[in-house]
Every structure is written in structure tokens, then in C-alpha cells.
A and B are shown apart, each in its own frame.
Chain A
Amino acid sequence: MEYKDYYKILGVAKDASADEIKKAYRKMARKYHPDISKEPDAALRMAEVNEANAVLSDPEKRKAYDQLGDPSQYAQSGAGHASGFQAPPGWDGQDFHFHHSSTDADNADYSSFFEELFGRGQRARRSGPPSDMRGQDQHSSIELEVPDSYSGGMRVLRLRGVRLDAQGHAVEDERELQVTIPKGVYEGQMIRLAGQGAPGYGKGQPGDLLLEVRFKDDKRWHAQGKDVYQQLPLAPWEAALGGPVEFNTLAGTLEINIPPGSQAGRKLRVKGKGLPSRTPGDLYLVIQIIVPPVFDDNQRKAYESLSKAFAGRNPRTGDAA
């Protein structure tokens, strides 16, 4: 496992005061908060910053971490383990106590380095087999396309976490999970996968994995709750004259009756064709007027005729409305 230089992550000196660490943490949190940061790896950096703060803001953990010594020895030699860092001999006897409570045990996003030194690895080696306790629920999100909700289907999730090996050392773990996407699922709901959260302690059951459902942005459609808004492209004459048009909606091919004189942005409601459910949402087709390009003389003449027929109408002054 990789050695983590928590001081470097927070950008503080080794002798930084508690106040300096707190200030540095908040600055980093503002920079990398996934809700506002434009950095591509914001979520990853935020997890690192949180982990560094969890150690350096806790005097006991910080003292224990400092006793590891110079980080370069781990970076160069991979001391103690062929695959990199491992807790040095005697680590378990140090003056650090693992406090287990419902609030500080949620280390789901922490690295194997943290788990090895302060988490489950440390606890397992220090205290022997743990008492039976249910594992933590873990929270994540799943990004779907709106059509996925119409059709349902399968999705493979790649989950990264930390597990203990046979010797009680924390190691990185990656696994795949094939998940059924239920029909009609919408943004803001959560999908619970029982038993797929953090492993239990001792003979305790594993926690659950709770996935927040999000839809990918798409210019063609978006959903609000169970209602779906889909762009309906029309030629200018279809919008002006109205009449039936055939259209491949997300709910299947439908014949849509266009009201004459429809302007761009007008919404046509198709009741019950939103996301499927016992009480389904509605589908709103949002009219988008597409001006066909001119390819030959006939088409140019057609536009010129149109121009003559509407002489004096100026859409910029509202005369064409």
C-alpha cells in the first residue's frame, strides 16, 4: 500500500499548530469540495484531504503518525512489505487507542494506509478478533441515463474499498457488482443493496450499500421527478401548419398532434408517458424549430417565396408573432 504524506496533502509544515491545520483543511475543503470544484479529480482529492485532517486534527492519531518517521524511507524502499508500506513492527504497541463509536467508525472512504494504522487493521492486530458488530452502511451514487429508467436493465458497478487479509493487514480491494436497475427509478431516490456495504466486525453482518440515483446530463431530455422533458425537433412549416407527426419518444413511437402556430419552447404534454410507475409521470415534448439548410435553387426559391409572403413581418419587433 502507498504511504500517505498527510502534511503534504494539507500543505502544512510538520510542526504546524492545530489552528494552522484547521485553516489549511478548510481552505482545501473549499478548493476540492466536489459540489463546487471544477478539478477533474476533486472527489478523490477531497477524500485524501478528509483523511489527512482526520489524522492530523486528532492529537493521538497525529502523535502516532509522527512516530512513523521520515516518509522518504517508505517511498523508496517499500519497507516491511513487498507491495509497499505496512505498519512497522511495534506499531501495535504504541500509545494510540482505537475509539469505536457510531460517529468515528465510518471510515468507508479512507485508504488502506489509514485502515492499516488507525482503522480495522490496527484494531484487529491490537485487540485480536473483534466483537461481532454489523458493518457500516456505505453511500455512493450511480449515474444513469433517463432511458435506463424506462427500460430497466443491468449495470456493472466497480467498487473500491479496503479489506483485511488473513494476517489482519488492510489491503486495497476492488470488486464488481452486477446490479439490476429497477424500471421507473428517478433522481433523488436511493437504491439499497443489502449486505454490500462495509464488512461486519467478527461475525457481524456487512452493512448496506446505498446508491443515490443521478441522471447524466443530456441535451435531448431531462427528468424532474417522474416527469420527463424531451426535445421535439420540427421543421418551420410543421410548427406553423400543425398536424400529426410521428416521433420516437422515450416511451416509444407516438403520433403527436402539433397545434398550428406552435412556437419554439412550447410544451406538449403526453399524459402518463413519463417515467413508468403505478402512477407514472408525464412526458413533455418541448418544441424545437430546426431551420433546414438550403442545398439547391428550388429550396432557395421556396425560402424567397416565404419571405415575400411574409413581407413586413419582423420577428425582432414582435410583428411576426
Chain B
Amino acid sequence: MSTPFYTPPDVLDVQALTLEQLAHACRMQPQWVVERVTTGVLQYDIADDDTPEEAPPTWRFSTHTVLRARRIAELERMFDADPQLAAMTADLLEEVRQLRRRLKG
């Protein structure tokens, strides 16, 4: 095993990833993200309002959205799930996690 070494970390939060980076993190094509934003399944943090409509979107996504989007993408892949159903399941799973934690606390 190699010797441990120090790596300076970089903390990501809001505006963490671009459209392409989010698609990559979800193992999906950018069009998958665009479709889910336009149908309200995913939300972006900011967009450059001056960007013409035909230009590639300049959306940025928070880490919260990245985690949620990865879960939605996984559910869609696993069960060939409808995106809205996958989003609802992902949100319920998160709520269950929070409630379980409260029960333990």
C-alpha cells in the first residue's frame, strides 16, 4: 500500500458544477440534464441571463442538486423509471433518511 499523502481539498457547495459536469457525474448526456431542467425535475442555481436562447445553457448546479440528480439518474437506469417518478422516489428516499435520523436523535 502506498504511503498516505496530503491533498489540499476544495469544498464545493452552490454553483458547484456546470451542465456538462453534472451530466458527467450522472453518467448521462447533457441533453438528459436539459430535459430534466425544462420539465422541472431538476433546478439550477444561476444562469447567465445575457446568454442567447440558442447558446448552450450556462447553468450551474449546487452539490445538493448533484447528489439528487445522481440518485434520479440511477433510479431511471435501474428501473427504466419515468423521470418524474424517479424524482419523487429520490425525494422520498431523502425524506426517509432525514426522518430516520430524527428518530435516532
Q: Which residues of A contact B (CB under 8 A)?
A: 25-26, 29, 33, 35-36, 102-103, 106, 137, 139, 154, 156, 174-182, 185, 188-196, 210, 212, 217-219, 222
Contact of B12 among A178, A210, A218, A222 (CB under 8 A): A210
Contact of A179 among B9, B70, B101 (CB under 8 A): B9
Nearest 9 A-B pairs (CB), nearest first? A178-B4, A192-B10, A190-B12, A176-B4, A190-B63, A29-B78, A35-B93, A191-B9, A106-B27
Instruction: Please give, as numbers and ranges, the residues of chain A lying within 8 Å of B6 by CB-CB distance.
Output: 154, 178-180
> In the assembly, what is the distance between CA of A126 and CA of B51, in Å?
45
Give the shortest distance, in Å, between B43 (CB) and chain A (any CB): 15
Instruction: Please give, as numbers and ranges, the residues of chain A lying within 8 Å of B96 by CB-CB distance.
Output: 35-36
Question: Smallest CB-CB separation from B29: which chain A residue?
Answer: A103
Query: Is B42 positioned at the interface, with any CB of A under 8 Å from its CB?
Result: no
Instruction: Please give, as numbers and ranges, the residues of chain A lying within 8 Å of B101 by CB-CB distance.
Output: 217, 222
Instruction: Please give, as numbers and ranges, the residues of chain A lying within 8 Å of B9 by CB-CB distance.
Output: 179-182, 191-193
> In the assembly, what is the distance between CA of A176 and CA of B27, in Å?
26
> In the assembly, what is the distance between CA of A178 and CA of B8, in Å?
9
- B interface residues, tally (CB under 8 Å): 34
Instruction: Please give, as numbers and ranges, the residues of chain B lying within 8 Å of A156 by CB-CB distance.
Output: 4
> In the assembly, what is the distance between CA of A36 and CA of B100, in Å?
11
The answer to whether B12 touches A137 (Cβ under 8 A) is: no
The answer to whether A178 touches B5 (Cβ under 8 A) is: yes
Give the shortest distance, in Å, between A155 (CB) and chain B (any CB): 10
> In the assembly, what is the distance between CA of A217 and CA of B105, in Å?
7
Instruction: Please give, as numbers and ranges, the residues of chain B lying within 8 Å of A222 by CB-CB distance.
Output: 101, 105
Give the shortest distance, in Å, between B47 (CB) and chain A (any CB): 21
The answer to whether B104 touches A217 (Cβ under 8 A) is: yes
Give the shortest distance, in Å, between A184 (CB) and chain B (any CB): 8
Interface residues of B in 47-103 (CB under 8 A from A): 63-64, 66-67, 70-71, 78-79, 93, 96-97, 101
Contact of B63 among A36, A182, A189, A219 (CB under 8 A): A189
Beyond A175-B2, A178-B5, 18 additional contacts (C-beta under 8 Å) are: A26-B78, A29-B79, A102-B23, A103-B28, A137-B25, A156-B4, A176-B2, A176-B3, A177-B7, A178-B7, A180-B6, A182-B9, A182-B11, A188-B63, A189-B11, A190-B66, A193-B9, A194-B7
Question: Smallest CB-CB separation from B97: which chain A residue?
Answer: A35
- Supply 11 A–B pairs (Cβ within 8 Å), ascending by A: A29-B78, A102-B24, A103-B29, A156-B4, A179-B7, A179-B9, A180-B6, A180-B8, A189-B13, A191-B9, A217-B105
The answer to whether B7 touches A196 (Cβ under 8 A) is: yes
Q: Which residues of B contact A (CB under 8 A)?
A: 1-13, 16, 23-25, 27-29, 63-64, 66-67, 70-71, 78-79, 93, 96-97, 101, 104-105
Give the shortest distance, in Å, between A225 (CB) and chain B (any CB): 10
Contact of B16 among A26, A102, A190 (CB under 8 A): A190
> In the assembly, what is the distance between CA of A212 and CA of B78, in Å?
22
Give the shortest distance, in Å, between A284 (CB) and chain B (any CB): 13
The answer to whether A194 touches B25 (Cβ under 8 A) is: no
Question: Smallest CB-CB separation from A224: which chain B residue?
Answer: B98
Give the shortest distance, in Å, between A292 (CB) and chain B (any CB): 23
Give the shortest distance, in Å, between B41 (CB) and chain A (any CB): 18
Known A-B contacts A177-B4, A188-B64; A210 and B29 likewise in contact (beta carbons under 8 Å): no
Instruction: Please give, as numbers and ranges, the residues of chain B lying within 8 Å of A217 by CB-CB distance.
Output: 101, 104-105
Question: Smallest CB-CB separation from B93: which chain A residue?
Answer: A35
The answer to whether A188 touches B67 (Cβ under 8 A) is: yes
The answer to whether B11 touches A139 (Cβ under 8 A) is: no
The answer to whether B79 touches A212 (Cβ under 8 A) is: no
Give the shortest distance, in Å, between A106 (CB) and chain B (any CB): 5
> In the assembly, what is the distance between CA of A210 and CA of B10, in Å?
9
Question: Smallest CB-CB separation from B94: which chain A residue?
Answer: A35
Instruction: Please give, as numbers and ranges, the residues of chain B lying within 8 Å of A185 by CB-CB distance.
Output: 11
> In the assembly, what is the distance between CA of A29 and CA of B93, in Å?
14
> In the assembly, what is the distance between CA of A26 and CA of B63, in Å?
28
